[in-house]
C-alpha cells in the first residue's frame, strides 16, 4: 500500500457518495507498501456507513485484472475465508474510474476489517496464518477465474534487465543476482498442484485479533499458481526478522503446522519447497530493487531494502532442505 495519486477532499467526498456508504468524515493516506495508492476512509449517516479502504490502482496493477481480484474476494468471502467484501456502487459495479493528473485510473472500495498486523508474531498467530492460507487454497480451487502470475518466473529476467548496470547504486552485493535468477528459473517445477494463491502474504497483509486471523487483505498479486510456492512466499515473509538477518524456527514450524492442519501438501510439493523458497526471495528482491531505483522522490511511500531478501535467499540455499520438516 502507498499513495502516489493525490485526490482532493471535494473529489474524495463525491467518490464516496457514489458508493452509497454515507458522508465522508475522514480520509487518511496509507504509506506502507509500494504498489497502489490507498486511503483509510471513515463515513457516517447511513446504515452502511463505517470504515473502508479506497484503492487507486497504479502502473503495476493491470486494471484488466480487476474483475479477477474483486470476484475472488467475493468467492473467498462466500466460502468463509477471512477476507474483506467489496463495496459496489449504485450501478452495481465494484470498480470505477477517476481522472488524475497522470490520466484516468481505476479505483475500488473495500470493507475495512478489524484487527492489527503483527510486527512480532507469536507461534500461535503463525499457526493461524498457515491454517487460513490453506483455507484460501482449498476455496480457491473452486474459483472459476484464471490469472497468470505477473510477478512469476516469466517476469524476472525483465526486472534483471531493468536493473542492469545499477545494482551497485543499491549495494554491490546484488551484482550476483542475475545468475541466481537464471538458476531459479532453471529449477522452477512445472508439475505441482495449483489453486488461486495470494502470492504476497506478508504480515502487513494479515489482520489479527489475538491469535485469530480476522482478515487477509491486499490480493492484488493473487494469481493461479502452485500452492507450494505460496507456502514458500509466506514462510519467507513471516519466519525472518524484517532485515532478513535472523530466522525464527518456531514461527516457521508453526506456520507450516497450521497449514498442514487444514491441507497437507503432497510429496512433490514438500520436495520442491527449498527451491521455491529461494525463488520467492528473488521475486521480492527483484521488485524491491526495481522500486528502489524507480520510486519518485515525492511519492509518499516507504522504500524496502532488497538485501533483506538476498539474506533470506542465502539462508534457504544453505539450510532449506532441513527447514520444512513440520509438513512431514
Residues contacting residue 293 through CB under 8 Å, at least 6 positions apart = 162, 163, 166, 169, 170
Residues contacting residue 228 through CB under 8 Å, at least 6 positions apart = 189, 192, 193, 265, 269, 270, 272, 273, 276
Lowest mean pLDDT among 3-7, 80-84, 126-130: 3-7
Radius of gyration of the chain (CA): 20
Question: Mean of the pLDDT values across residues 107-128?
Answer: 95
Give the DSSP letter string of 57-91. Answer: --TTS-GGGHHHHHHHHHHHHHTT-S-PPEEP-TT
Q: Can you say how many angstroms the Cα of residue 68 is from the centroid of all Cα atoms in its chain? A: 15
The pLDDT, as a whole number, for residue 37 is 87
Does the pLDDT value for residue 220 go beyond 90? no
For residue 165, give the C-alpha cell.
Answer: 548496470
Q: What percent of the chain has pLDDT over 90?
A: 75
Question: Mean of the pLDDT values across residues 14-28?
Answer: 92
Between 163 and 298, the higher pLDDT residue: 163
Running DSSP on this structure, what letter comes out for residue 240? B
Instruction: State the residue for C-alpha cell 542492469.
Output: 164
C-alpha distance from residue 62 to each of 230, 322, 328 (Å): 21, 38, 38
The pLDDT, as a whole number, for residue 300 is 60
The pLDDT, as a whole number, for residue 240 is 98
The pLDDT, as a whole number, for residue 103 is 80
Does the pLDDT value for residue 44 go beyond 80? yes
CB 196 within 8 A of CB 83: no
Does the pLDDT value for residue 115 go beyond 90? yes
Q: pTM of the full predicted structure? A: 0.88
The pLDDT, as a whole number, for residue 1 is 45
Distance CA 310, CA 205 (A): 22
Identify the structural domains of the chain with CATH numbers, from first to last.
Answer: 9-111 (3.30.200.20), 123-325 (3.90.1200.10)
Query: What average pLDDT does the structure give for the chain?
Result: 92
Between 139 and 321, the higher pLDDT residue: 139
Q: CA angle, 91 as apex, 89 and 93 as ends, to 5°?
A: 60
pLDDT per residue as tens digits for the range 225-240: 999 999 999 999 999 9
Amino acid at each position: 500500500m502507498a499513495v502516489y495519486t493525490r485526490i482532493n477532499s471535494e473529489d474524495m467526498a463525491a467518490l464516496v457518495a457514489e458508493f452509497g456508504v454515507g458522508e465522508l468524515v475522514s480520509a487518511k493516506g496509507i504509506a506502507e507498501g509500494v504498489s497502489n495508492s490507498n486511503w483509510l476512509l471513515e463515513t457516517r449517516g447511513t446504515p452502511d456507513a463505517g470504515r473502508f479502504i479506497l484503492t487507486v490502482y497504479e502502473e503495476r496493477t493491470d486494471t484488466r485484472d480487476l474483475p479477477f481480484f474483486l470476484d475472488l474476494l467475493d468467492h473467498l468471502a462466500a466460502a468463509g475465508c477471512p477476507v474483506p467484501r467489496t463495496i459496489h456502487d449504485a450501478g452495481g459495479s465494484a470498480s470505477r474510474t477517476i481522472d488524475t493528473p497522470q490520466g484516468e485510473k481505476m479505483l475500488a472500495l473495500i470493507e475495512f476489517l478489524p484487527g492489527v498486523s503483527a510486527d512480532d508474531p507469536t507461534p500461535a498467530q503463525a499457526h493461524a496464518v498457515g491454517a487460513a492460507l490453506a483455507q484460501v487454497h482449498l476455496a480457491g480451487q473452486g474459483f472459476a477465474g484464471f490469472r497468470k502470475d505477473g510477478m512469476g518466473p516469466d517476469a524476472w529476467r525483465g526486472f534483471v534487465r531493468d536493473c542492469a548496470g545499477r545494482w551497485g547504486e543499491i549495494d554491490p552485493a546484488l551484482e550476483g543476482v542475475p545468475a541466481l535468477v537464471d538458476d531459479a528459473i532453471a529449477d522452477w517445477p512445472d508439475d505441482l498442484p495449483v489453486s488461486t494463491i495470494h502470492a504476497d502474504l506478508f504480515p502487513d497483509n494479515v489482520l489479527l485479533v489475538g491469535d485469530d486471523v480476522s482478515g487477509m487483505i491486499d490480493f492484488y498479486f493473487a494469481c493461479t499458481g502452485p500452492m507450494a510456492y505460496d507456502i514458500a512466499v509466506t514462510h519467507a515473509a513471516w519466519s525472518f526478522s524484517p532485515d532478513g538477518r535472523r530466522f525464527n524456527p518456531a514461527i516457521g514450524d508453526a506456520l507450516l503446522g497450521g497449514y498442514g492442519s487444514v491441507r497437507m501438501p503432497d510429496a512433490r510439493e514438500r520436495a520442491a519447497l527449498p527451491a521455491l523458497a529461494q525463488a520467492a526471495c528473488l521475486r521480492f528482491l527483484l521488485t524491491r530493487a526495481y522500486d528502489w531505483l524507480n520510486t519518485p522522490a515525492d511519492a509518499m511511500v516507504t522504500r524496502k531494502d532488497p538485501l533483506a531478501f538476498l539474506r533470506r535467499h542465502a539462508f534457504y540455499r544453505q539450510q532449506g532442505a532441513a527447514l520444512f520438516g513440520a509438513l512431514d
